[in-house]
Chain A
Amino acid sequence: MTPATPSTRPALPGWLSRNLGPLGGLLALIAFPFVVAAQSGDSPVAVLTNESGNAKFYQGLFIEVFILAIYALSYDLVLGVTGLLSFGHALFFGMGAYATGILIKSFGWELGPTIVAVIGIGVTQALAVGVVLPRVKGVTFALVTLGMASVFHIVVQTHELSPWTGGDVGLQGLVPPAILNPNADRLRFYLVSLAVMVLAWLAYKRFVDSPTGRVCNAIRENEGRALMLGYNTFVFKLIALTIASVTAALAGSLHALYQPIVSPNVASLSFTVAALLMILMGGVGTLTGALFGALAYRLLAFFLDRWFGQIADVLLGVVYIALVLFVPYGIVGTWRRRRGRGA
């Protein structure tokens, strides 16, 4: 990069050359549906006209990846960046999904007000969970959050609420609003969820490099010392939790709009574990790892299921264990270590 060094590569503006990876990734993801169409012998125009086929199908798969990535990203802020062990993260996602479904289906709300309400719910639930933060630490916090998510998981399945929640079957029959309908215009939904993911990633990147995010990092490292330096760590943990909660709730919104059914399982422990697996595979605390982790998580499940059918679940378990054992720093963490940038 020194000006004196003769370079065979065309000179790029510094900003561009520093961000080649993410920009390339973004362009590849935008081109992806068209490439799939071309590969399958369809005209790329079929993507624009929302025709059924491989392109539409793989867009659907990647919409799921993007939603999972946003969700995993939010968990990485809580666990990876701030060091809060929560076993109830799925609650944040589930709340967003159910709120979206109920407001649109049962109350006939428009998309805009619904999203505003979901953001409000995201803030409120973080504060509700956050009040216990000064009193419970470590594993106790994990159990308290698990308890809260379990209550939600049970309550949405109760008979009394089933007119709104669909009980144990799940919430179905949600007609997505015309401006964001994954069935009528898959490409738009694909691009919107991609945009939400990219914006969330950029915002999170900025946050961890902000004075506030740096304190969150310090709390993960040594909360006692952070307190002694003069930081009211409770407030910082609450901020991280609130940002993560709003993000996860928005991912839940997209999930409710995309999926034909919102299952109560979105608030289950196994869905929190899914977030944990994604950031473990991608690299805890790296943020970017959450995106790669979500990709690996969804594609592994998809292809193992396609190739091995019945025994896919067992294989998936084996793959997870192998990844965590042999790639302990995750995809992005290992990559950074190789390039000598440290963890």
Chain B
Amino acid sequence: MPETIALETRRLRKQFGGLVAVDDVDLRVQAGSFHAIIGPNGAGKTTLFNLLSRTLDPTSGQIYFKGRDITRLPLHQTAHLGIGRSFQITNVFPNLSVLENVRLACQAVQPGSFRFWEDHRRLKAVLERAHAVLEQVGLAARAALPARALPQGDQRKLELGMILAPDPSLLLLDEPTAGMAGEQVPELMELIGAVQKRGGKTVVLVEHNMNVVMRASDVITVMHQGARLAEGTPTEITANPAVQSAYLGELYGDLGATQEDA
């Protein structure tokens, strides 16, 4: 049933010199699912995201989005296919206003970017969408501030707003709650969940917060040293002994049990 697979990788590999950051990973993400990727620091999650979002070229292997080979797709075309990606470390336009950051994200996927003779406010649909998104992520009151002036938590909201703005069908979220105050996390996850359900979107989420992962995910893939260690529902993953030794063990500091026994 290839049409129900939103995203697929085949033996996807990335090497940095001698270091294999992503080691022949086969991944299948069901369309409309909430798919979490977990793993200890340095497991290769962000690198995998960089490959999936076309920020990095893979060393070998293929990536398919809705059955289409996107392994060599130019980076700027991914957004037009409906792929949106957020960053672990906030990656915005620091000196532009919050509104402008989101507005640019909307403008990119709508016609009119080459109307160099017209005022940008004439692109009404773009502007309205940007305001609506700011409302949605709770930044409407801060629209005029330069992005760099936002507190950490609001920067994460802006990062999410920029992903939601073009209304992608696949969201690649790299630790969207990193650096957020604890009480803001459920609110943000609820928002992501609501957007996903309402739009029938596919979400691939990297996250360290186990509570968040267990509650939100349909499927969890565990990565360890660049490779796919295990995959299953939250219940299966919690019960998996290999995961416990490789990942949970490491999390709780039991380093003696982290040898690859998978």
Residues on A lying within 8 angstroms of B by beta carbon are 206-207, 209-215, 217-218, 221-222, 224-233, 239, 342-343
Contact = CB atoms under 8 A, between A and B. Distances in A.
Contacts of A213: 116, 120
Nearest to B109: A230
Contacts of B103: 214
A214 B79 contact: no
Nearest to A343: B95
A222 B113 CA distance: 17
A212 B122 CA distance: 12
B27 interface: no
A211 B113 contact: yes
A165 to B, nearest CB: 34
A239 B116 CA distance: 9
A228 B75 contact: yes
17 contacts: A210-B115, A214-B100, A215-B113, A221-B93, A221-B94, A222-B91, A224-B91, A225-B91, A227-B76, A228-B53, A228-B55, A228-B79, A228-B85, A230-B76, A230-B79, A231-B108, A233-B76
B78 interface: yes
B104 interface: yes
B107 A222 contact: no
B116 A221 contact: no
Contacts of B95: 221, 343
Given A209-B120, A214-B103, A222-B93, 18 more contacts: A210-B118, A211-B107, A211-B114, A213-B120, A214-B100, A214-B107, A215-B104, A215-B107, A221-B94, A222-B94, A224-B55, A227-B76, A228-B76, A228-B85, A229-B104, A229-B105, A229-B108, A231-B108
B176 interface: no
A207 B107 CA distance: 16
A239 B103 CA distance: 21
B123 interface: yes
Interface of B: 53, 55, 74-80, 85, 91-96, 100, 103-105, 107-109, 112-120, 123, 126, 146, 162, 166
A211 B121 CA distance: 8
Most interface-central of B76, B103, B109 (chain A CB within 10 A): B76
Nearest to B145: A342
Nearest to B86: A228
Given A211-B120, A211-B123, A222-B91, A229 B162 contact: yes
Contacts of B118: 210-211
Nearest to B112: A211
A232 B76 contact: yes
Nearest to A217: B96
Contact of B96 (A206, A218, A228, A230): A218
Contact of A212 (B80, B85, B114): B114
A210 B79 CA distance: 21
Contacts of A233: 76
Nearest to A215: B113
B73 to A, nearest CB: 12
A233 B93 CA distance: 15
A230 B80 contact: yes
A342 B147 CA distance: 13
Contacts of B109: 230
Nearest to B146: A342
Contact of A210 (B74, B78, B85, B120): B120
Contacts of B114: 211-212, 239
B177 to A, nearest CB: 20
A217 B100 CA distance: 10
A225 B113 contact: no
Given A218-B93, A221-B94, A230 B119 contact: no
Given A218-B93, A222-B94, A228-B85, A211 B115 contact: yes
B115 A212 contact: yes
A212 to B, nearest CB: 4
Nearest to B123: A211
Given A222-B92, A226-B104, A207 B116 contact: yes
Contacts of A214: 100, 103-104, 107, 120
Contacts of A212: 113-116
Nearest to A236: B113
B165 to A, nearest CB: 9
